[in-house]
Structures are given as C-alpha cells and as structure tokens.
Amino acid sequence: MSPLAKYLFAFLLNNVGPGASPYSLQRMPECGDDPELPECRLDRVCEMAGPLCAAPRWNRERGSWVRVETREVAADRISVAAQTLTQTIARLVSCLDEGGSVIEDCEPLQWAGSARSLACMVTTISIYESGYREDVMSGYGPMGRGKAGEVCLMQVMPRYIGHPIFTPWMTEEQKALDLESRLQLVLGPDPASLSNCYETGIRILARKRRNAHYACRGIDWAYATLSFYGTGNRCTVATEEGDWAADRTATYQRCMHHWPSQEQLPDWAASYR
C-alpha cells in the first residue's frame, strides 16, 4: 500500500465508523445457500443490544445468509477502496499505471492542484455521500441508492453513466447496455467497479471545480467546489439551519493538514499496519 493509500485508509477508518451501520452486511457462507434451511445457528452474533448484533438472516438481494458487517470486514473493504482511489488518481493525474510506468497516449486530468488535494477532496465527498457503507458501495436496497437513483461511493447521477465526458472508460459495447446494466459497472467492492465509480466522480468533480472557479468569485475554491458537486450549480448552501458545504470543507482541510503523520489507525486496526 502506498503512503497516500495508507493515510487515506486511516482517515477513513477514523471518520466513517466501520462496523456501526445496520445497512452494511456481510455474507455468512457457513450458513449455506438454502434460504429455508440454514446450516448455522440463528442466534444473536454478539451480546450487545440492538440491530448490530442481530441473528443471521437470509438476504434476497445478496443471495446469502448475512449479518451486520463487523468493523474488521468493513476495514478490509475500505482498504481496497483506499488503494483503488490512489491508483485511479495516479492514472488520471500523472498518467501512471499501478506499477508506476508511464501510460502512453494518456491525457492528464485537468486538476489545479496536487494528487493529494484531489484524493482528499474525493475522500471527503465519498465520506459524506456514502459513509463507505457496504450497501451503497454495491447499490443494495433498501437504502443503497439515492432518492434520485444516485449510485456508488460518489453518489453519481444515473444520467452520467455513459456520458462520453465522464465515462471515457466505457467501451462501445458497455455504452449500448441498458441503464441498469451500465450502473452495475460502477457498483461493487471489486477494484474495477470502484475505479469506474471513482473516475466518473472525479471527472464530474473536475468539471464542477472549473465551473465554480468562474461562477463563484471571492468564495473559497474548496467550499465552492463541494457546493457545486452537491447541488449542481450553487456557490453556497448556507442557511439559518446550517451549512453542509462548510462541514465538508472542514473535513477536506483536516485531511490535507493531517498529512502525513497526524492521522493514525485506531487501536483495533493495529493489524493493518
């Protein structure tokens, strides 16, 4: 794992509460694959009260017996996401493949800043948009997609999946698929799907930053960019009730300022060092 991936991994573990969402589930192959006749005991999986320790149950969408995801299983999933994000950014910004070799005929992404600033911006957006929940990463119901059908960690609007500017990674055969099949290309915990999700969101983000630069004179670029990404075209979202773009900007700045040593893995994740 690269130094940046290690840093993002620690930042995510400290900011998303892995193992604390009743919507994030893990499969239990030890229970078998028969929804009527489980091969395991259907006892609560831990002693704590509440849904996090609920007994195994059959989940139709996942086609498996499941329990609420443990923080360790969540950490494994987040580790893959952190590594995939840094590799995707290196490919888009620096035109380098996973081995560090130059990608020929690569046109770098137009991002006015460092790869780390882009990584912290994407990490911030995906924390607030998805919480790195397992159901959002894979699009499982009942809460794995947004109210308007937004998908994956970056909560991308469906209309962007297949757009030539935002999804140049798609082949002609993939572009010809029906919408749900196209959406499946950005859903899932595997590196390929995660990379597709990140790249699409990154390309949208870069466009929103350029638009905000011209439309939001005198407003902090990070705040304006985050506002634009969340709303489409608004420079500010401040109201009497609050300002979610300011909250996101603070998280982005913390991500930038804590580099490289102020973000440590939580004690329970010591095995990942």
pLDDT score of 184 more than 80:
yes
The mean of the pLDDT values for the chain is 95
Split at pLDDT 50, 70, 90, the class of 8 is very high
- DSSP assignment, residue 51? G
Exposure pattern of 172-189 as b/e (b: 16+ CB <10 Å)? eeeeebeeeebbbbbbbe
pLDDT digit string (tens) for 43-93?
999 998 999 999 999 999 999 999 999 999 999 999 999 999 999 999 999
**Contact call for residues 153 and 132 (beta carbons, < 8 A):** yes
Strand order in the sheet with 57-59: 25-27, 64-68, 57-59
Split at pLDDT 50, 70, 90, the class of 273 is confident
What pLDDT sits at residue 108? Answer: 86
Split at pLDDT 50, 70, 90, the class of 210 is very high
Q: Rounded to an integer, what distance in angstroms lies between the CA atom of residue 38 and that of residue 28?
A: 10
Split at pLDDT 50, 70, 90, the class of 19 is very high
The pTM of this model reads 0.95
Q: Helices marked H in 131-167 — which ranges?
A: 134-138
Give the residue among 13, 122, 124, 20 at the shortest CA–CA distance from 76. 13
**Contact call for residues 88 and 198 (beta carbons, < 8 A):** yes
CA dist list (Å): 116 to 4, 46, 120, 123, 261: 8, 39, 6, 10, 14
Domain boundaries, the chain: 3-14+71-259, 25-68
Examine residue 260 and say whether the peptide bond preceding it is cis (omega within 30 degrees of 0).
Answer: yes
Helix, strand, coil % (nearest 5) of the chain?
A: 50, 5, 45
CB atoms inside a 10 Å sphere around CB 110: 12
Q: 3-class SS at 12?
A: helix
pLDDT digit string (tens) for 86-130?
999 999 998 888 778 888 878 889 999 899 999 999 999 999 999
Please give the single-letter amino acid code of residue 156.
Answer: V
The position carrying tokens 């011209």 is 214
Q: Rounded to an integer, what distance in angstroms lies between the CA atom of residue 15 and that of residue 161?
A: 28
Higher pLDDT, 241 or 189: 189
What pLDDT sits at residue 95? Answer: 87
Q: Rounded to an integer, what distance in angstroms lies between the CA atom of residue 212 and that of residue 179?
A: 29
Q: 3-class SS at 207?
A: helix
Class of domain 3-14+71-259: mainly alpha
